Structure 1
Amino acid sequence: MTGSEVVEVLEVVRERGDRAGELARSASPVLLAAAVELHAAYRAAVSCPEAFARGLPRGGSADLVERSVRAELAVGCGVSERVVSRDLEDARLLIEDLPRTREALAGARLRWEAGRIICATAGSLPPESRAVFDERACELALVLTPTQLRRRVARLRDELHVEPLADRHARAREDRAVWLVPDADGMALLCALLPAPVAVGAYARLDRIARCLRDSADGDGRDDDGRIGPADEVSAATEACGEQRTLAQLRADALADLLCDGDVFGTTPPGDGEASDSAAAPATFVPGVRAEVRLTLTASTATGHDDAPADLDGYGLIPAHVARELAGAATTITRVLTDPDTGTVLSVGRTHRLPPPRMRLALQLRDRTCRFPGCTRPASRAEADHSVEWRHGGETSLENLASLCTAHHHVRHGDRWTYVLHPDGTADWTTPTGRRITTRPGDLLPDPPRRRPAPLVEATGTA
């Protein structure tokens, strides 16, 4: 290219890049307006609690009203209740505590992402510190990238927080948790929120195991100080020709082996270590705890006659060869065989209020998840709800039962959320505001839309 052509390309790139940034910032006023509307809807709803829950014992309605309101707003916005909860908190902070950030968003001077970062940090500050935080954080947001901003406001939070770090850490420890996030292609993320020393220590142990496994292919598996390394703590074996897995893969395999096949203990089990008196051994040792997972696959897939994907409870579809390996090797897998043509469950069959175990299993296999609108909690951890209540003559049968997680089971019995269950398992819900929404069992897909929305811009020209 000639020099003038290079200059022209550079001008186009700069112009288009600037325009892209302007358009991204131009979305902020619209999203802020949506946040204001959401906040107003919430305030109106909580001002009339009886519209969202009734017939509840004293002292048990406040939380139920809150859940019902958030569920209603989630259905209206087409998002999960978790997202609505976050959006409501962001809206409250922007309207009540963060005027400088709100003005910058309204004027399209900040990307919405920057505003969310500021809100996420401000929410954990005491109210008296938020005004100063708002001023300084907004100044930073105007000149920093989102990643830079996230780090800087974290330091700013520690600087402005009036509560000692030790007290904050003690309270934050109560939020420790583990959760699962499904990913694509038969993979998933296993996430944990832990005290920093525990997380760092756990990662260091996994890293040490991984390095010992890698090094043992070329040596004797000893650490630098000559001690035998912890390679034998996992079942993964190294090949004599050399370990082919990367360190990242070895860490992942070590974690899986330790969690799925390792013993759970608080101290040394009886017979190991210096203490030989079994009576003195602590009772915290729990040997042989194994993961329990349900796997649903067709009989023809199990025998290798076809390669139809299997359904892993709590995740979704996994490849047939992976399913066969699980079903054949793992003693902790509950294998559920189905007819490949009809989908009928082959290994479970069918006048009490609580469903018997086999009926409960069939219900879970039908529903797959909680049947409340928008909820994705696995049916295996849900409760069986009578569509027509037992006290009103409802039967304990698959035709009258639906899986609801504990939280949504309570919301449903607040009397403002109702549903009609159809023979195919489809549930037609009515929300407190009269909105109607349909949820379907795991194997039923929604009907295609009858018409497509009109295009925003009319197409011109000929094909």
Structure 2
Amino acid sequence: MHSTVGIGSDGDVAALADLVADAERVTDAARAAQIHEVRVLAAAGRLAEQQSAGADERVKAREMALRSIAAELAGVFVTTDRTLQRRIDEARDLVENYPATMTAWEAGRITRGHVRVIQDTGCVVPGEVRDEFERAAIERCEGETPNRVRDTLVHLAERLHPRSFSERHEEAAAGRCVRVQAGPDGMSDLIATLPTVIAEGVVDRLTRQAREIIDARPHADGAADAAADDEAVDTDAATLDGSSFAADTRTMDQVRADVFADLLLAGTPSLDPTADGDGNGALGAIRAKVQVVVSALTLTGKDDGPADLVGRSPIDAATARELAGDNTAWDRLLTHPVTGTVLECDAYQPTAAMRRLLRARDRHCRFPGCRQPAIRCEIDHTHAASDGGPTHVGNLAHLCKRHHDVKHHTRWRVKQLPGGKLVWTSPTGRVYREDAPRPVVAFTIVSTPGVAPPDESPPF
């Protein structure tokens, strides 16, 4: 049985419902004020251009007019004129180049967060196809949180870019470097500019090694206590156990930083709970893990579309092919030709088939708005196993630790429909539908002259 906390009675639910209603009114008022502010700032930018029209050295004249107007408005907004000038430029870009986004925002279809994501990701899209980008982006944003939809919009913008992602990545990778940025109090930032998949792998390995060290502390505490009670134990060994791990109070960030320095300077972590007196331990054997989704056409070299580094950003086709080639246990997905929903998953080497399919289907935590990658989540029985819920893909979904606890210990409720759709009900009765996410990588059906298109997508 699971205890329920947070909302204890019907009266509490009613009070929360009143707060939700107030929040909706506040949100509507805030949206109207935000839109009005954007239009005021955009008008300020147009006024600066009108004031400089016909003047000599027009670029300089416009800049001076814009600075003057920004300085005037900065007093009202209680900020610097430099900040106001940047906001004026952003507002004008939004109003003039993203009219459909403004309309959707005014209608309440999307939020300010969605608008920022559309504007941020759409900056690489050529003007002649921006309308197409806007229409698709707004459709993706409806019903999703801004952080969830960002990856999809990044891939959408990449597909509409005139230059391939692989070509631009190759140029960017030529600028990889390591540099030191001095900081206060005898500290510095060591900054490595690397391909995203490498950087994510570095952080993953550091995190898992740090977790091994932190998890060893309870065992070290027990060993130190036993050593203190046993007079026959080797004093040096007891001291070593106690000083190395039992007294270790470092945070996760501190352990990661220390392991990072050890690996670069010595090639292996200096503090390894799996080591013994005869040699190195197993900590150094931990390798990085990343989760990548790539289409079959990209793998076979038929196109150079970017792959998806789940939970992060696109990666170039060459890197995706290299990762697939070096990996001995990768999953093949069968997707619906229209919706893109994952229908089937198999592998060339058998592993835990159910976990593979769920990881492919869910991709991230299935609580509304959460983007924690599936490889960092727990698999939850939607209908609890203790209540007779079967261990079947139709009753399982990935939830991060935070939202797994929310499901079991609060009045949030969820049921799973066919196709991996989750329907969440909040304590106040609000319903949130969580469809299994479509892969952001384009799974294209290639037509052959004279051959009718298949009823299902290619087996990937």
Shorter-chain TM-score tier: 0.3 to 0.5
Q: What TM-score results when the alignment is normalised by the length of structure 1? A: 0.39
Greater RCO (Cα-Cα under 8 Å, separation 6 or more)? 2
Between Structure 1 and Structure 2, the one with more helix by share is: 2
